[in-house]
């Protein structure tokens, strides 16, 4: 919980006399907005519509363009103002065929998916002997001679955590592994999927080549396939694998953000940005990553609007190209960074129940934090003393000092699905999604109507 100083509380009470909109933050209103949001069907309908009528929507592709058109039409129909797409261009990596098989000693196919920006093999593929590494540290420690002309295999099994904190640690195999392997002369790299499931659904994801490194084919094996390959290797005979990972890079493809607003009564008080990303990986339909996030942002903004015009403008930002490096977030900041932003908040961790709220508010806003925490508590959300950090879609804003609140979803099963073909609508729990909308709605309402002065610029 945030500590409250009595001086701040006094200032708040004084302020309330002059700001009738404060009434929105009263306990009665919090209860009303929670009750209403817990019956919300906008977030699920948004998720269902985007995943069904568009499906997969990789950044910079025609599918992502269809998602923008779809979102613009949908947000207009929902009653948002100033709905528009804001285009930019970007380079795009496009998946081709992903095929692999153990050639010897025990011939059989393996299920895998190329990682973003993977190098491409020829149509005929490549063949090489596997060199096993239990972790990225082992790969780093290996002499280059061990890898020259061979295929590295990094077999680090991810463990689930409720807050997703294991992604940083285990994700290194995907993020740094390919560059390290290439530097040491490997002809390709396979990693065990950065995932916590046991299904034949590989977890893709982006990786960036370090400066001066030659791209090599890089792919994630599904968890059962990684375990199978490890068992085969453990037999002690040399293991040869044939890989066909075709892909291509395109320059200057169209991408874009989608923006929609609930205009506030007092434009001088700054904008509250409610962010998510519209793009998805190509294998699934991006239901939990991140159609639900966009559904939550839109639905909760509408729940606030139901109570009457908020003091601050709530701007829903459905960013493009989050999955491949954040081009959308940078384009938004370039276009809008000079505007006054009161707060940024983002949903990009599925839609299982929100269990914790983290704050990063300016000094003196402890009462606001306490008010929000009080409105969230009935939803089963605890307040933490961890500092909020936001996500990729609001990272440039947060870096510039814009206040941020994190509503932390339960991520226990998130990495069962993340970046796999299995990220589909059936994985969304409508009841938990509604709890997300309720938590977002009380938070947005409190901030949008806060009498405190907030924000950057």
Catalytic residues: 322
Q: Does 109 help bind its own copies (rule: CB under 8 A)?
A: yes
Site map 258..297 versus its own copies, x via CB under 8 A: --------------------------xx------------
Report the nearest approach of its own copies to the CB of residue 424 (Å): 4
Report the nearest approach of its own copies to the CB of residue 281 (Å): 13
Find the binder of its own copies among 16, 19, 36, 63 (CB under 8 A): 63
Count of residues in contact with its own copies, rule CB under 8 A? 35
85 binds, among Zn ion, its own copies, none (CB under 5 to 8 A by kind): none
| DSSP string computed for 161-182 | -TTSTHHHHHTHHHHTHHHHHH
Report the nearest approach of Zn ion to the CB of residue 117 (Å): 17
Find the binder of its own copies among 151, 189, 232, 239 (CB under 8 A): 232
Residues within window 323-342 making contact with Zn ion, judged by CB under 5 A: none
Find the binder of its own copies among 201, 316, 331, 444 (CB under 8 A): 201
3-state percent helix, strand, coil for the chain, nearest multiple of 5: 40, 25, 35
Site map 300..329 versus its own copies, x via CB under 8 A: ------------------------------
The span from the first CA to the last CA of the chain, in angstroms, equals: 28
Please give the C-alpha separations between residue 63 and each of 51, 72, 159, 440, in angstroms, as whole numbers. 11, 14, 33, 28
Q: Does 406 help bind Zn ion (rule: CB under 5 A)?
A: no
220 binds, among its own copies, Zn ion, none (CB under 5 to 8 A by kind): none
- Nearer Cβ to Zn ion, position 290 or 366? 290
Residue 354, strand partner residues: 409
| DSSP string computed for 345-390 | EE--S-SSPEEEEEEE--TT-HHHHHHHHHHHGGGT-EEEEEEP--
Angstrom distance (rounded) from CA 443 to CA 289: 22
Report the nearest approach of its own copies to the CB of residue 420 (Å): 8
Residues within window 253-292 making contact with Zn ion, judged by CB under 5 A: 289-290
- Nearer Cβ to its own copies, position 158 or 274? 158
| 271, 345 contact by CB (below 8 A) | no
Report the nearest approach of its own copies to the CB of residue 222 (Å): 8
3-state secondary structure of 188: strand
Q: Does 348 help bind Zn ion (rule: CB under 5 A)?
A: yes
Angstrom distance (rounded) from CA 394 to CA 404: 9
- Nearer Cβ to its own copies, position 86 or 422? 422
Find the binder of its own copies among 35, 41, 53, 266 (CB under 8 A): 53
Angstrom distance (rounded) from CA 244 to CA 190: 12
348 binds, among Zn ion, its own copies, none (CB under 5 to 8 A by kind): Zn ion
Report the nearest approach of its own copies to the CB of residue 49 (Å): 10
290 binds, among its own copies, Zn ion, none (CB under 5 to 8 A by kind): Zn ion
Two tokens, residue 179 = 């560059």
Phi, psi of 67 (to 5 degrees): -65, -40
5 binds, among its own copies, Zn ion, none (CB under 5 to 8 A by kind): none
Find the angle CA(197)-CA(203)-CA(206) to the nearest 5 degrees. Answer: 145
Reference 282, options 204, 208, 210; nearest CA is: 204
Helix (H) or strand (E) holding 33: helix 27-37
Find the binder of its own copies among 22, 65, 67, 111 (CB under 8 A): 111
Instruction: Give the length of the chain.
Output: 457
289 binds, among its own copies, Zn ion, none (CB under 5 to 8 A by kind): Zn ion
User: E strands of 36-147, at which residues?
Assistant: 81-104, 108-110, 112-114, 126-133
Angstrom distance (rounded) from CA 437 to CA 420: 25
- Nearer Cβ to its own copies, position 16 or 63? 63
- How deeply is 205 buried, as exposed, middle or buried, from its count of CB atoms within 10 A (0-12, 13-18, 19+)? buried
Q: Does 422 help bind its own copies (rule: CB under 8 A)?
A: yes
Angstrom distance (rounded) from CA 428 to CA 230: 33
Find the angle CA(449)-CA(433)-CA(420) to the nearest 5 degrees. Answer: 125
3-state secondary structure of 395: helix
Residues within window 87-106 making contact with its own copies, judged by CB under 8 A: 102, 105-106
Q: Does 37 help bind its own copies (rule: CB under 8 A)?
A: no
Question: Which residues here bind Zn ion, judged by CB under 5 A?
Answer: 289-290, 348
Q: Tell me which residues touch its own copies (CB under 8 A).
A: 48, 51-56, 63, 102, 105-109, 111, 198-201, 223-224, 227-228, 231-232, 235, 284-285, 420-422, 424-427
């Amino acid at each position: 919980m945030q500590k409250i100083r009595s001086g701040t509380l006094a200032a708040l009470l004084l302020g309330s006399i002059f700001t009738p909109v404060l009434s929105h933050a009263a306990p009665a209103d919090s209860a009303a907005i929670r009750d209403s949001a817990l019956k919300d069907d906008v977030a699920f309908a948004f998720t269902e519509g985007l995943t069904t009528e568009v499906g997969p929507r990789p950044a910079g592709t025609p599918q992502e363009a269809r998602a923008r058109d779809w979102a613009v039409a949908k947000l207009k129909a929902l009653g948002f103002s100033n709905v528009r797409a804001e285009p930019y261009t970007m380079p795009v990596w496009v998946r081709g065929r992903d095929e692999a098989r153990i050639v010897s000693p025990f011939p059989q196919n393996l299920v895998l998916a190329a990682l973003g920006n993977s190098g491409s093999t020829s149509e005929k593929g490549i063949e090489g002997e596997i060199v096993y590494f239990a972790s990225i540290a082992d790969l780093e420690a290996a002499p280059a001679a061990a890898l020259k002309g061979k295929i590295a295999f990094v077999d680090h099994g991810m463990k689930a955590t409720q807050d997703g904190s294991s992604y940083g640690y285990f994700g290194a195999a995907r993020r740094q592994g390919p560059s390290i392997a290439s530097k040491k002369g490997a002809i390709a790299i396979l990693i065990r999927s950065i995932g916590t499931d046991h299904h034949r659904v590989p977890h893709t994801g982006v990786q960036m080549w370090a400066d001066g490194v030659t791209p090599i084919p890089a792919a994630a094996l599904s968890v059962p396939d990684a375990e199978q390959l490890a068992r085969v290797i453990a037999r002690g005979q040399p293991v040869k694998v044939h890989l066909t990972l075709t892909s291509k890079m395109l320059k200057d493809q169209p991408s874009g953000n989608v923006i929609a607003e609930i205009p506030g009564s007092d434009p001088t008080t700054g904008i509250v940005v409610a962010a998510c990303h519209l793009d998805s990986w190509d294998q699934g339909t991006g239901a939990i990553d991140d159609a639900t996030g966009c559904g939550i942002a839109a639905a909760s903004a509408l729940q606030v609007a139901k109570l009457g015009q908020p003091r601050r403008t709530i701007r829903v930002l459905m960013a493009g190209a989050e999955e491949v490096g954040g081009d959308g977030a940078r384009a938004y900041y370039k276009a809008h960074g000079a505007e006054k932003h009161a707060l940024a908040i983002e949903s990009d961790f599925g839609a299982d129940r929100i269990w914790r709220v983290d704050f990063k508010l300016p000094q003196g806003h402890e009462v606001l934090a306490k008010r929000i925490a009080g409105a969230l508590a009935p939803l089963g959300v605890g307040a933490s003393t961890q500092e909020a950090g936001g996500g990729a879609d609001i990272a440039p804003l947060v870096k510039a000092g814009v206040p941020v609140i994190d509503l932390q979803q339960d991520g226990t099963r998130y990495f069962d699905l993340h970046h796999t073909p299995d990220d589909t609508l059936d994985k969304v729990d409508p009841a938990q999604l509604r709890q997300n909308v309720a938590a977002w709605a009380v938070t947005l309402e409190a901030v949008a109507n806060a009498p405190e002065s907030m924000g950057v610029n």
